[in-house]
Structure 1
Amino acid sequence: MFRSNLAAVLLGGASAFCLPLAAEAAGPSGLVAHRAIYDLELKDATDRSGIAGMYGRMVYEFTGSDCTGFTTNFRFVTQIDTGDATRMSDQQTTTFEDIAKRTFKFETKSFTDDALDKDVRGAAADGAKGVKVNLTQPSAKEIDLAESRFPTEHMLDIIQNAKLGKTFFEAHVFDGSDDGDRALVATTVVGKAETPKLDDADADKAGAFSKTSFWPVTVAYFNEKSHGDATPVYRMSFKLYENGITRDLTMDYGDFVLTGKLAKLEMLDAKACK
C-alpha cells in the first residue's frame, strides 16, 4: 500500500484471504490488477493540526504482471476546513516496479488549490551496498541508502509472513514518498485471518470477496535513526486479501487520523506471462 505524504502538505500549509477472480488474472506473485476507490473522512484531529474538518477520495490503481513489472497510479484528493478557510489538496503519484530486476521509478506531484507545491521524480535500484536513488526533480541528485524493499516487494513480504503465521517483522522500505531521498523503517503487525462480520462497514463493496477472509494489518513507519519508543512518522491499518487488495483503511498522521472506506472495486484485465 502506497504511503501518502499528505501530512507534510497539510501541516505545512496550515500553520487485501481470497483467490483471484480468475487464475490468469494473477502471476506467480498472486497479485491482481485492480482499481480501488476509497471515501476518506476525518476520524480525529488535535488542536495543533489546525484542521476542523476533512473529507475526500483516494483512487489506487494497480496494473502489470510479474514478467513486465507493476505500475501503480495513486491519487489522493482531500478538502480541508481549517475553521477560517477551506482548501483542496491533491497528490498524484505514478510508480513502476520491476521485481525481477529490483528497479523502481517514481513521480509525485502535490497541489494545493490547483497550484503545484512539489514535483518529485526519480529512480532507484540495487547498488553496491544497498539502494541507489537517482533524483531528477526538483534537482539532480544521487543518494545511497541502506538495503530496502520497494512497495510491491513489501506487500508480498506482508502476505508471505501472514501465510506463515509470522505476526511481526521489520524492514527498510523505499517508496519515493516525501522528497524521495530516504527510506523508512517499517514495522508490520499481522493479525490472524478473519472473516467479515455483519457490521463490517465496507465488506459489501468488495464484490466477489465480500465474504472472504482477510488479514488485519498495521504498518508503522519510523525514521531510520529513531531509537527507543520513537513516534512513527505515519501509521496505517487495513484489511488485506491474499491478492493484494485492501479495504477499511485507517491512516494516522500523528496530529490527525483519516479513515478510508472502500467505495468501489474494479478488477482490471491482466496479460499472463509467457
Structure 2
Amino acid sequence: MHRAIRACVMNAPRWRGVCMGAARMVTAGMAMGLVLGLMPPARGAETPTPLTPHRAVYDLTLQSVSGGQIVSASGSMTYVLSDACSAWSTQQELNLQTASRSGVQTEIRTDYAVLEDKDGGHMVFRTHQYGSGVTEQKISGEATMTATGGQVRYTQPGVSVVPLAAGTLFPVAHTRAIIAAGRAGQATIEPVLFDGTTEKGAIDTFIVLMGWKPPPAQTDIPALAHLGSVATHVAYYDHATHDMPPDFDIGMRYFENGVSDRLDMNFGEFRMRGTLRTFTPLPAPHHCSVMVTPHSP
C-alpha cells in the first residue's frame, strides 16, 4: 500500500529548493506461499479476515522539518483496492505541494495502477509522475513469478528485462505478509518487494511490527473499530545498497482487513502525517467464472 508516495520520491530528482533534496521514496501463488509459510499463525488463531475492497482518501499534512529547504508541504492521496475476481486491482493517486525557503512552489502528482493475480504469478503495472518542478516519468510493464523466481518486462521508459528472485512479493501479497506477521506475533520480517515504482526491479523491505492489538480499536472510522490491528514501520532499500540508509520509511497502522488509517511518512528533509478522511467499502464482484483464493497466512 501507499506505493505512489514512495514512487514520488524514488523517481524524483534530488530536491534542491522545492522538490530537490529529500530521500528517495511512495507487494505468487508459490512466492507468497513461500514467505507466508515462514510465518505460521499462532496456535488457536482464528481464520484471517479477508482483505476488504475499498476506497480510502487521506489528508497529508506537514509534521516536522529537519533543516532542509522545505518549509511547507500538504497534499492528499486516494487509494482504491478492487476485487477483480482472479486478481486485485490497485489504484493510487498522490497530490503533493511543497514550498521552499526561497518561495519556490512545487506540485508533484503520481498516478499508480496495478493488476495483480491473486495466485501471485502475474502483475501488470503503470506509474506516472508529473507536475511543476519535476521531470515527467512513466514506468510500465508486466512481471511474472514462479516457484524458482521470475522476471519483469519493462515497456517504459525503455524496453528491458530484469530478473526477480524466488520469494519476491507483489504489492497486495506484501500487505498480506505484514498482516500475517502481525497476527503471528512476529517482531520483524524482511520480504523482497516488486511494486513497479522503479526501473531497477525488486527492492528490499525491513518491517518492524509493534504488537497485535485485538479489538476494539480507537479510530475515527467506525467500520474499523471491531477489527484487530498492528502498528508497523516499513523501510524500503535499494537492493544493491541494503546496508545504506533506507530510500524511504513509513509508519502505518494496518487493520486485519488491509486498511490503514494512520501514516507517518519520512521524506528526509520533512515528515508528513496521513489521516484517513473517508473510507468506503466497495462491493465484491458477483459474476466471476473463476474465483482464485490466495494462500492463507
TM-score by length of 1: 0.84
2:9 maps to 1:7: yes
Task: Say what the alpha-carbon RMSD is for the aligned residues.
Answer: 2.6
SS at match of 1:193: strand
Counterpart for residue 141 of structure 2: 122
2:206 maps to 1:225: no
Query: Aligned residues: percent identity?
Result: 25
* Equivalent-residue separation in structure 2 for 1:207 and 1:154 (angstroms): 26
> Conserved in 2, the CA contact under 8 Å of 1:29 and 1:156?
no
> Conserved in 2, the CA contact under 8 Å of 1:239 and 1:247?
yes
* Equivalent-residue separation in structure 1 for 2:266 and 2:96 (angstroms): 15
Of residues 206, 213, 221 in structure 2, which corresponds to 1:194? 213
SS at match of 1:47: coil
CA 1:69 to 1:227, structure 2 compared with 1: closer, same or farther past 3 Å?
closer
* Equivalent-residue separation in structure 2 for 1:211 and 1:129 (angstroms): 39
Counterpart for residue 18 of structure 1: none
> Conserved in 2, the CA contact under 8 Å of 1:207 and 1:265?
no
TM-score by length of 2: 0.78
2:108 maps to 1:89: yes
Structure 1 runs not aligned, ≥5 long: 16-27
* Equivalent-residue separation in structure 2 for 1:14 and 1:38 (angstroms): 24
Counterpart for residue 176 of structure 1: 196
Of residues 252, 255, 261 in structure 2, which corresponds to 1:247? 261
Q: Greater shift after overlay, 97-106 or 167-176?
A: 97-106
What is the CA-CA distance between 1:146 and the residue it aligns to? 2.2
What is the CA-CA distance between 1:207 and the residue it aligns to? 2.8
2:172 maps to 1:166: no
Q: Which amino acid aligns with 2:183?
A: K
Structure 2 runs not aligned, ≥5 long: 22-47, 292-297
1:223-254 CA-to-partner distances (Å, cap 9, x unmatched) read: 223354x3111111111111100011011122
Counterpart for residue 78 of structure 1: 96
What is the CA-CA distance between 1:7 and the residue it aligns to? 2.0
Counterpart mapping for 1:44-59 below 5 A: 44-48=64-68, 50-59=69-78
What is the CA-CA distance between 1:189 and the residue it aligns to? 1.4
SS at match of 1:112: strand
* Equivalent-residue separation in structure 1 for 2:226 and 2:118 (angstroms): 31
CA 1:177 to 1:86, structure 2 compared with 1: closer, same or farther past 3 Å?
same
Task: Give every structure 1 segment of 4 or more consecutive aligned residues whose post-TM-superposition deviation is greater than 6 Å.
Answer: 195-198
Counterpart mapping for 1:200-215 below 5 A: 203-204=219-220, 206-210=221-225, 212-215=227-230
What is the CA-CA distance between 1:85 and the residue it aligns to? 1.7
* Equivalent-residue separation in structure 2 for 1:41 and 1:164 (angstroms): 33
SS at match of 1:14: coil
SS at match of 2:178: helix
SS at match of 2:174: helix
